[in-house]
Amino acid sequence: MNSYRSGWIVLCLCCSLRAGAQFTVVPLGVRGGLDESNLSSYMLAAAGSNDYICLDAGTLYSGIRKAVDSGVFSTSVPNVLRNYIKAYFISHPHLDHVAGLIINSPDDSAKTIYGLPACLDVLKEKYFTWESWANFGDEGEKPLLKKYHYASLVPGEEVAIPHTPLYVTAYALSHGAPYQSSAFLVRSGEDYLLYLGDTGSDTVEHSNKLHLLWQAVAPMVRNGRLKGIFIEASFTNEQPEKLLFGHLTPKLLGREMAELAGLSGANGVRGLQVVITHRKPSGDQEARIRKELEENPSLSPVKLVFPEQGKRMNF
């Protein structure tokens, strides 16, 4: 009887562990400026898989090297770059979100770059040109090296990602009108992870983009299927709203999470992992942003997570 019970307990613990983590995320870069070796970029895979997509690509090589050095990947940096990353999802074309993609393109393998049409247009017309670099794309200025294929996303329409078990839906965000960014809702089975590129709040941007996003994900929050939200907090609360340039402060992020709680129910957001991205490390600003986030009562129901470059995260 005792051995039966012991075996049953072990089996339950193993099942619990398997059921607990649905996604693996490896941050390749977590900051929003200054440090060119640590800019916005996150590898994401279904738990137990090495078939990743890369959400933004401000930093690639330096972040992969840190992940290899810390034991996250037991292979070489070039192998991770070429074979583990199956596709790129670019939220918007600012340099701190694409610099790693551009500079590593000569050593990369053939992949698809996904994004909203306006974002892809900048890659084709400004970056992957022969005057600024070389055209590794399959569209734009000739000659075409055709290493990267561009795939335009339609907001609200889910697409399957080849060579992975993942599905992604894009949503438009406002990033300092009239410029736009995007969010990516990633699905594996019945579970979801939400990544937002840079975004301003609806109140400052005079927009409803975040409201529409929260409406879309509220049912997933309510039923516990949304495992985490990656969202920015770029400036401290003292930054004037007219100088935010399409970014969030801890106070504005608190308002947005309060709205999500109103749509999904307070119990839905309780314990929800909210990963803080794009912190600008000027002076002591990064530490002040963290302090203001942790002291914001509107954020007390959620679990704030501060990612570290090259450190694995499970959701």
For the stretch 207-253, pLDDT in tens is: 999 999 999 999 999 999 999 999 999 999 999 999 999 999 999 99
Using DSSP's 3-state secondary structure scheme, residue 284 falls into coil
What's the pTM value of the predicted model, to 2 decimals?
Answer: 0.93
pLDDT at position 19 over 70: no
Q: How open is the CA angle 290-179-145, to the nearest 5 degrees?
A: 100
Query: In angstroms, rounded to a whole number, what is the distance separating the alpha carbons of residues 219 and 127?
Result: 39
Tell me the pLDDT of the chain averaged across its residues.
94
CATH number of 23-314: 3.60.15.10
Which sequence spans correspond to the domains of the chain? Answer: 23-314
DSSP 39: B
* Edge-to-edge order in the sheet of strand 303-305: 158-160, 167-174, 180-188, 191-196, 226-232, 273-277, 303-305
Instruction: Please give the backbone phi and psi of residue 305, each rounded to the nearest 5 degrees, phi first.
Output: -125, 135
